[in-house]
Amino acid sequence: MLVVESYLIAVLMCLITMLCWGSWANTQKLASKSWPFQLFYWDYSIGVLLLSLIFAFSIGSIGESGRSFLQDLNQADTSSLTSAFIGGVVFNFSNILLVVAIDIAGMAVAIPVGVGLALIIGVLTNYLAAPVGNPLFIFLGVLLVVIAIIVDALAYNKLPSSKDNKASNKGLIISAIAGILMGFFYRFVAASMSSDYIVMETGKISPYTAIVVFSIGLFLSNFIFNTFVMYKPFTGEPVSYSAYFTDGNTKLHLIGIFGGIIWNVGMSFSIIASGAAGFAISYGLGQGATMIAAAWGVFIWKEFENAPPETDKLLNIMFLSFIVGLSLIIAARLL
């Protein structure tokens, strides 16, 4: 399997993760113009699973390092497979809540709050489990992300809709719940994998196998979580399974599948890079997606277009805090 040993290459992969995780929700924005997010999410989950299998049977099965995908899967113990599977279930629950929040409050609010909280919790839990990197730099970086989240919430509160629209306030609360849950999924996946990707531990699994099992957990749990929000939506009308086949078209399905592929390219790169970067740094850099998503929401989707002029200063402080915080997290392995 392909193994990354260079820290600089690992950082580059984590930056790609950041771009992917911060951009996939644009496909939801595009699809939601024509049909409900619940139907979009089925295609998204298919895209996630499809990408994991493509990687497993390609770069996950070539080279002399580690084990090929099928060989690795055959030797895996139950606890490792269960841990990766649970990671997919936990992520899916939190991500569906995040998608709901995006649908209600928009990208510029839902992702900075939800994913920002996930970053804080995820970095702390993964560092405590596998302490790699300078803790001072890591925790200072996380602190700046906290500041960015608070500033983003203050900017959101200045929007006229935030004072008049109870649904938008609901979106903010759902974003926070999603972020808290999302902060724990990565640790389940990390715990399933061998600590050495070249000379692998017996019973533990490779990053590529972990991604496949994670994706299966995500897809199967969709029949529970997404079915619930289809028939008991937080906002809007209930959605039936038949609508997936009658209301959609090839373009809409491909948009959703592409969204899942984009997200899982990011997840796969993050997990692959963790061997050289460490789980806390790899996860922390990937969750810089908050800044990318906020930029999409502010500059492309114009979600703060009607905000008062002083909001621009708050948004600038938010972006600066994210950038400096992420830079400190990168430096944590170098200094």
For each of the chain's 335 residues, which pLDDT tens digit applies? 999 999 999 999 999 999 999 899 899 888 887 888 899 999 999 999 999 999 999 999 998 888 999 999 999 999 999 999 999 999 999 989 987 887 777 666 777 778 778 888 998 899 999 998 999 999 899 889 888 878 877 787 777 765 545 556 788 889 899 999 999 999 999 999 999 999 999 999 999 999 999 999 999 999 999 999 999 998 789 999 999 999 999 999 999 999 999 999 999 999 999 999 999 999 988 887 877 877 887 888 887 888 888 888 998 998 899 889 989 988 998 87
Q: CB–CB of 258/47 below 8 Å?
A: yes
Q: Which run of H or E residues covers position 122?
A: helix 107-129
Determine the 3-state secondary structure of 38 from DSSP.
helix
C-alpha distances out from residue 152 to 122, 182, 194, Å: 20, 19, 38
Tokens of 109: 């609010």
Q: CB–CB of 291/22 below 8 Å?
A: yes
Residue 178 lies in a domain: yes
Full DSSP string of 270-304 = HHHHHHHH-HHHHHHHHTTHHHHHHHIIIIIS-TT
Residue 144 lies in a domain: yes
- Provide the 10 A C-beta neighbour count for residue 308: 11
Cβ neighbors of 261 (< 8 A, separation 6 or more) are: 47, 48, 50, 51
Beta bridge partners of 205: 193
Query: Could you list the residue range(s) of the whole structural domain that residue 268 is in?
Result: 7-331
Domain tally, the chain: 1
Nearest to 239, CA basis, from 221, 227, 224, 222: 227
C-alpha to C-alpha distance for 332 and 277, rounded to whole angstroms: 10
Residue 1 lies in a domain: no
Residue 2 lies in a domain: no
Cβ neighbors of 12 (< 8 A, separation 6 or more) are: none
Residue 41 lies in a domain: yes
DSSP state of 253: H
What is the torsion angle, in degrees rounded to the nearest 10, for the CA atoms of residue 125, residue 128, residue 132 and residue 136?
Answer: 90
220 exposure class (CB count in 10 Å sphere: 0-12, 13-18, 19+): middle
Nearest to 293, CA basis, from 116, 157, 159: 116
